[in-house]
Structure 1
Amino acid sequence: MKLNYILFLAVVVSCCNPLFGQRKGYWQQGVDYNMSIDVHEKTYQYDGQMTLKYTNNSGQPLSKVYFHLYFNAFQPGSMMDHRLTSISDPDPRMTTNLGTKEKPIYRSRIAPLTPKQIGYQKIKSLTFNGVNTTYKVDGTLLEVTLPSPIVDGTTATFQIEWNAQVPEQIRRGGRNSKEGVALSMAQWYPKMAHFDEFGWHLDEYVAREFIAPFGNFDVKINIHKDYIIGASGVLQNPNNVKGYGQNPSIKAVNNKVEWHYKAENIHDFAWAADPKFVVDSAKSNGGVNVYTVYLPKDKLSTENWKQALGLATEFFDFCSDKFGAYPWPSYTIIQGGDGGMEYGTATLITGGRNIKSLVGVIFHEAAHSWYQHLFGINETVDEWFDEGFTSYVEELAFQQLFEKKGAVDSNPVIAAYRAYYKLALSGKEEPMSLLADYYNSNYAYSNEAYNKGAVLAQQLGYIIGQENLNKTFLTFYDHWKFKHPTPNDFKRIAEEVSGINLKWYFNLFINTTRKIDYAIAEVTPNSIVLKNKSDFAMPLDVLVEYEDGSNELFYIPLREMRGEKPAENIDIYKGITRTILEDWFWTNPDYVITTGKPAKKVWIDPSQRLADIESSDNSFVR
């Protein structure tokens, strides 16, 4: 074992100490994958062997374990297949419209797959500490009954042999994508299910996201010598394969070469392969080796990929400064899949985009390195915590690095606010705490997860102050990296940083569809009457310009906050006197500000960070 790896583990273990902000009794399971696969390119099949070491830290014995077999979703009659015909607005990438635009009749693209087109992962043998086990496959889950329990504090060894077929490219992983990528290998191996304080997470692969334990990966891929691979982790033999080494010495056996990758402390491993791939790389100022692996379609697309590579290196420096240091040595951006999807130290994205779109999707998926992969967020339960915070990070970086704005707007995610308002007024909004797969529409899911989640983050800065929000992100990183925090853990950090109680905010914004709606009801020569027209109370910033030309910012805390946000260094408030008023009770819909002199103009929240669904009555001009 290398010394630097020992030190790395020591840092990770030290962060589990309750003094560093963890819940009392916090624990997590551990996995260590060692896999070797032999790819049969012509039939799109492969044979796999795995040695998995699984460490039980749960405080209880485990008599069963579970694995995910995600490729099994791509079979006629699967839950994914049925969902595509039952949801009101199915993913167009996964369906065929047999009707018209006005009267669509959707057919799942999974339904007509032939036996040679489907995906599957078939277990050939499975042993536990050298002893045969009893197991059964149920859809995309493999249930394993153990001959003896895994005792708390011990490590068990599983040996698995399996055969798999890569499905047609329908969702994330697959063969022969629309852009011509031969193999997009996502969710391709028997993946240990996650077990934590909430029990086993046994979600069928229906549509959405994932959760898995952190672990180490040692992966060997045997494939035809003409193929080039992009993957998670660090390539161990760059001089023995195409595309990477300075002086490659490729020694093929039966026309195949072995690609060897290692990755530490990640919870998913993905790769893609194609003979036409080219590889480019650059290093960030912080030392992150960033790779792009793509198809050189034409001169413009190649130029776009090269420009995107430079911006990607800047992105990792930007995020390391604002959200915590990127802890892995590399990140690989691979053309493949059907859109954009994050994996451990890598992403699969489609490449046929203009430069703005290409950079945007790279920034989004790379931002998942923090809000998903560093924190192991349970995307199946808290999808907004993953996608929403990632969207927030993406937009901040995009405005500063791509659009070259000197200072980020007081509300950099105003577009997410507008999308949320549209959702809130559509009648289709559902509580953001809903399990990711269970939304009645993809419209509701995407706007809840991506847009309302980003609004939650930005509006939190309005409540506790932007500087406190910035500090919350960094403190959260220090306390919770390489673990599996919940939204409540983030809330607790924000409360500790700001001294403000946030239970009411997280509860109402996440668990209900209540909406914020304030109004200026009346302005007299000596007072301003405010009204809460909704059932969601918030603190208010009210900016007043008096008839004598002076300005005053009134800050009205909410009683439930049990504290106040500090004055903010925002351009629109600079040089303006700030007056802190008495708390506003949520039980009282009205509030009166006594001004003492006539007001010419009045604005509720000029920074536009308050998610008020009707802003037309938030300003007054005499």
Structure 2
Amino acid sequence: MKSIFFLVALITLTSTHSTLAQRKGYWQQHVDYKIDVDVDEKNYQYDGTMTLKYTNNSGQPLSKVYFHLYFNAFQPGSMMDYRLSNIADPDSRMTTNIGTKENPKWESRIAKLTPEQIGYQKIKTVSMNGKSTDFKTDGTLLEVTLPEAIADGTTASFELIWTAQVPEQIRRTGRNSKEGVALSMAQWYPKMAHFDEFGWHLDEYVAREFVAPFGNFDVSIHLNKNYIVGASGVLQNPSEVKGYQHKAKIKTENNKTTWHYKAENIHDFVWAADPKFVVDSTKNKNGTTLYTVYIPTNDSIVANWKQALGLAADFFDMCGQKFGPYPWPTYTIIQGGDGGMEYGTATLVTGGRNIKSLVGVIFHEAAHSWYQHLLGINETVDEWFDEGFTSYVEELGMQQLFYKKGALETNPMIDAYRAYYKLALSGKEEPMSLLADYYNTNYGYSNQAYNKGAVLAEQLGYIIGKSNLDKTFLKFYDIWKFKHPTPNDFKRVAEDISGINLKWYFNLFVNTTRHIDYGIQQATADHVTLQNKSNLAMPIDVLIEYEDGTKELFYIPLREMRGEKPAEDYTIYQNVKRTILEDWNWTVPTYTFPVSKVPSKIWIDPTQRLADIESSDNYYERK
């Protein structure tokens, strides 16, 4: 069975390159990395060599290419350094308040790093197809001018030699974390920048999000023999290293062990290492091997990690059914970094948490295996599409698996809705279409990306019907796995599944800060009048309970939808007559419809999926 699973996984991974996406003319670049690094763990430095095969499918020749050198952000005077000093609410993990609590003044810790503490990636040589290139480093970017253009449909081979120092300041990557992890190695290699239909994505690193082309990785790490490594991909020599096999014969050379990993069709590779690490593993029903690599600080921490591993296996099973099968053979949950961050087939998370927090962060980062790693979302541009949908998946998992109560009967994302309402009323909301780096506040970014993004997904189910939403997720997976879809691609799938036009919804909810606000204006013995008090029109569900105890659900489509959602199977709607009314035009502020009996109670959207910022007038009770 094991060999069959790996064969199926290999076919799934390799066949995706020849599968056409729904959007005509879609193309994407491809990379193959072969990386070898020799680590000096005492000085937190390493020497690296890399062969990169880069395939140009863009339809045009490329005379330049670019690489990200993320470690260079951890230097005084970098853009990340200045961003920390000038944003209103900087990340406390990288700043010190040198003012008062009432009048804080934030100082970047990066500004205080010494030459021995900074991070850097210094490129020594870059060649293409054996020919030297001209290159220059500009902040966290390496610009390479090619000796000859890479023609469309051809593959170029790059050779890079570099040296690097791991920064002392932890931001996802770094050394000696607060929890005692020696090396958290994220964004540690010269990473080919992403080129797509929108051009090169050359974002300076200021500690936010990433995007990269899909490809294969072959990575060898030479490290002190006392260390244990957790990493992306599949370990090729478990019998020669510590921690993965009970009777391993540790193979060393010059007091170092070589850790050899391979991964197919991912777009980021991470690893972490510490002498105190232990390794545990399990398999889910689909045959995926899940690893935990962590420091067993005490019995409570060990118990939490063991419980979290079992729940992670259940979570992968749940996600596979609801969002599409997980295609890779492994997933590794590694203690490291400064919070939680997703990478190809692995994550770094802080581990000294209570069980709810630990499971929550693992579920969130594991959900990124779909949004953003299977579906290569550009999270520098569409952060809500990545983080919001991941938060949606995480919350479903917490309710069904951790709390063991299933999804809430009405709105499982109610906490995200409440956070969004607070943001909408705070005066700090900005359009959700902003580039991830450019929000005025971290508060605004976090609530837009994580909470409003989750609201968008749940409210979409309100618009097209929750069964259609489930179908949309699965069809989107089938069409766009191992590609780089945009929000419009998801919208088009939802429209195809539901037959409903969604241009108005995605445009207004993503690109503006308009809010939804409906109310019951009047209720009499023969009619009900509703009012749209906002500038964002929506379809409306109205549940009426009459004086004789019977109920009726009135559904008012929005004219812009050019369609209707099907009846939904919520318990509160069962055995309730459903009446579909005429469309409500968004240019008309009120809507009146007749009733056949005297209403005693009226609810606008009793499922609470309509993101109405002022719901006090959404309920009426006859006195």
Smaller-chain TM-score bracket:
over 0.9
Deviations 1:332-366 (A, max 9, x none): 00000000000000000000100000000000000
Are 1:211 and 1:377, in contact at CA under 8 Å, matched by a contact in 2? yes
> Corresponding residue for 1:257?
257
Are 1:186 and 1:271, in contact at CA under 8 Å, matched by a contact in 2? yes
> Corresponding residue for 2:19?
15
Change (3 A) 1:3 1:363: closer
Question: Which residue identity is paired with 1:11?
Answer: S
Q: Gaps (5+ residues) in structure 1?
A: none
Is the aligned partner of 1:287 residue 2:291? no
> Corresponding residue for 1:397?
397
Is the aligned partner of 1:197 residue 2:230? no
Question: Which residue identity is paired with 2:11?
Answer: L
Is the aligned partner of 1:483 residue 2:483? yes
CA distance, structure 2, for counterparts of residue 377 and residue 549 of structure 1: 49
Deviations 1:78-98 (A, max 9, x none): 000000011000000010111
Are 2:9 and 2:329, in contact at CA under 8 Å, matched by a contact in 1? no
> Corresponding residue for 2:367?
367
CA distance, structure 1, for counterparts of residue 399 and residue 214 of structure 2: 32
> Corresponding residue for 2:135?
135
Q: How many corresponding residue pairs?
A: 617
Question: What's the offset of the Cα at 1:572?
Answer: 1.1
Question: Which residue identity is paired with 2:273?
Answer: A
Deviations 1:32-87 (A, max 9, x none): 00000000000000000000000000000000000000000000000000000110
Partner SS for 1:221 = strand
Deviations 1:139-158 (A, max 9, x none): 00000000000000000000
Are 1:109 and 1:170, in contact at CA under 8 Å, matched by a contact in 2? no
Question: What's the offset of the Cα at 1:100?
Answer: 1.8
Question: What's the offset of the Cα at 1:571?
Answer: 1.1
Question: Which residue identity is paired with 2:15?
Answer: V
Question: What's the offset of the Cα at 1:488?
Answer: 0.0
Deviations 1:436-464 (A, max 9, x none): 00000000000000000000000000000
CA distance, structure 2, for counterparts of residue 209 and residue 114 of structure 1: 26
> Corresponding residue for 1:168?
168
Question: Which residue identity is paired with 1:449?
Answer: A
> Corresponding residue for 1:577?
577
Are 1:304 and 1:355, in contact at CA under 8 Å, matched by a contact in 2? yes
Is the aligned partner of 1:144 residue 2:144? yes
Are 2:110 and 2:169, in contact at CA under 8 Å, matched by a contact in 1? no
> Corresponding residue for 1:54?
54
Question: Which residue identity is paired with 1:268?
Answer: D
Matched ranges for 1:239-254 at <5 A: 239-254=239-254
CA distance, structure 1, for counterparts of residue 527 and residue 577 of structure 2: 17
> Corresponding residue for 2:354?
354
CA distance, structure 1, for counterparts of residue 328 and residue 38 of structure 2: 27
> Corresponding residue for 2:3?
none
Partner SS for 1:111 = helix
CA distance, structure 2, for counterparts of residue 169 and residue 277 of structure 1: 21
Are 1:400 and 1:408, in contact at CA under 8 Å, matched by a contact in 2? no
Deviations 1:422-448 (A, max 9, x none): 000011100000000000000000000
CA distance, structure 2, for counterparts of residue 243 and residue 9 of structure 1: 28
Matched ranges for 1:171-186 at <5 A: 171-186=171-186
Are 2:181 and 2:274, in contact at CA under 8 Å, matched by a contact in 1? yes
Question: Which residue identity is paired with 1:42?
Answer: K
CA distance, structure 1, for counterparts of residue 420 and residue 609 of structure 2: 13
Is the aligned partner of 1:27 residue 2:31? no
Question: What's the offset of the Cα at 1:483?
Answer: 0.1
CA distance, structure 1, for counterparts of residue 359 and residue 406 of structure 2: 19
Deviations 1:255-296 (A, max 9, x none): 101000000000000000000000000000111100000000
Question: Which residue identity is paired with 1:520?
Answer: I
Partner SS for 1:276 = coil
Partner SS for 2:365 = helix
CA distance, structure 2, for counterparts of residue 263 and residue 388 of structure 1: 27
Deviations 1:401-423 (A, max 9, x none): 00001454321110000000000
Matched ranges for 1:399-418 at <5 A: 399-418=399-418
Question: What's the offset of the Cα at 1:529?
Answer: 0.6
Question: What's the offset of the Cα at 1:185?
Answer: 0.2
CA distance, structure 2, for counterparts of residue 340 and residue 612 of structure 1: 31
CA distance, structure 2, for counterparts of residue 526 and residue 285 of structure 1: 56
Question: Which residue identity is paired with 1:265?
Answer: N
CA distance, structure 1, for counterparts of residue 521 and residue 301 of structure 2: 55
Partner SS for 2:579 = strand
CA distance, structure 2, for counterparts of residue 222 and residue 357 of structure 1: 34
Question: What's the offset of the Cα at 1:548?
Answer: 1.0
Are 2:193 and 2:212, in contact at CA under 8 Å, matched by a contact in 1? yes
Question: What's the offset of the Cα at 1:103?
Answer: 1.4
Deviations 1:487-536 (A, max 9, x none): 00000000000000000000000000000000000111111110000000
CA distance, structure 1, for counterparts of residue 124 and residue 464 of structure 2: 55
CA distance, structure 1, for counterparts of residue 283 and residue 546 of structure 2: 54
Change (3 A) 1:413 1:5: closer
Q: Kindly report structure 1 stretches of 4+ aligned residues shifted beyond 6 Å.
A: 2-6
Question: Which residue identity is paired with 2:47?
Answer: D
Question: Which residue identity is paired with 1:294?
Answer: Y
Partner SS for 1:422 = helix
Task: Name the stretch that deviates more: 21-30 or 377-386.
Answer: 21-30
Measured on the aligned residues, the alpha-carbon RMSD in Å equals: 1.0
Is the aligned partner of 1:561 residue 2:561? yes
> Corresponding residue for 1:433?
433
CA distance, structure 2, for counterparts of residue 182 and residue 457 of structure 1: 39
> Corresponding residue for 2:466?
466
> Corresponding residue for 1:90?
90
Deviations 1:159-182 (A, max 9, x none): 000000000133110000000000
CA distance, structure 1, for counterparts of residue 494 and residue 359 of structure 2: 30
Question: Which residue identity is paired with 1:7?
Answer: I
Question: Which residue identity is paired with 2:57?
Answer: N
CA distance, structure 1, for counterparts of residue 276 and residue 7 of structure 2: 39
Task: Name the stretch that deviates more: 525-534 or 246-255.
Answer: 246-255
Are 2:85 and 2:106, in contact at CA under 8 Å, matched by a contact in 1? yes
Question: Which residue identity is paired with 2:189?
Answer: Y
Question: Which residue identity is paired with 2:38?
Answer: D
Partner SS for 1:11 = helix
Sequence identity (%): 75
> Corresponding residue for 1:548?
548
Q: TM-score, normalising length from structure 2? A: 0.98
Question: What's the offset of the Cα at 1:4?
Answer: 6.3
CA distance, structure 1, for counterparts of residue 128 and residue 555 of structure 2: 62
Are 1:545 and 1:600, in contact at CA under 8 Å, matched by a contact in 2? yes
> Corresponding residue for 2:344?
344
Question: What's the offset of the Cα at 1:101?
Answer: 1.4
Matched ranges for 1:511-526 at <5 A: 511-526=511-526
Question: Which residue identity is paired with 1:147?
Answer: P
Question: Which residue identity is paired with 2:244?
Answer: Y
> Corresponding residue for 2:503?
503
Change (3 A) 1:342 1:3: closer
CA distance, structure 1, for counterparts of residue 348 and residue 219 of structure 2: 18
Partner SS for 1:207 = coil
Task: Name the stretch that deviates more: 100-109 or 427-436.
Answer: 100-109
Task: Name the stretch that deviates more: 402-411 or 430-439.
Answer: 402-411
CA distance, structure 1, for counterparts of residue 388 and residue 11 of structure 2: 33
> Corresponding residue for 1:307?
307
CA distance, structure 2, for counterparts of residue 165 and residue 514 of structure 1: 46
Change (3 A) 1:3 1:234: closer
Change (3 A) 1:588 1:4: closer
Question: What's the offset of the Cα at 1:184?
Answer: 0.2
CA distance, structure 2, for counterparts of residue 353 and residue 558 of structure 1: 46
CA distance, structure 2, for counterparts of residue 10 and residue 130 of structure 1: 28
Partner SS for 2:111 = coil
Partner SS for 1:609 = coil
Change (3 A) 1:415 1:13: same
Question: Which residue identity is paired with 1:86?
Answer: N
Are 2:9 and 2:328, in contact at CA under 8 Å, matched by a contact in 1? no
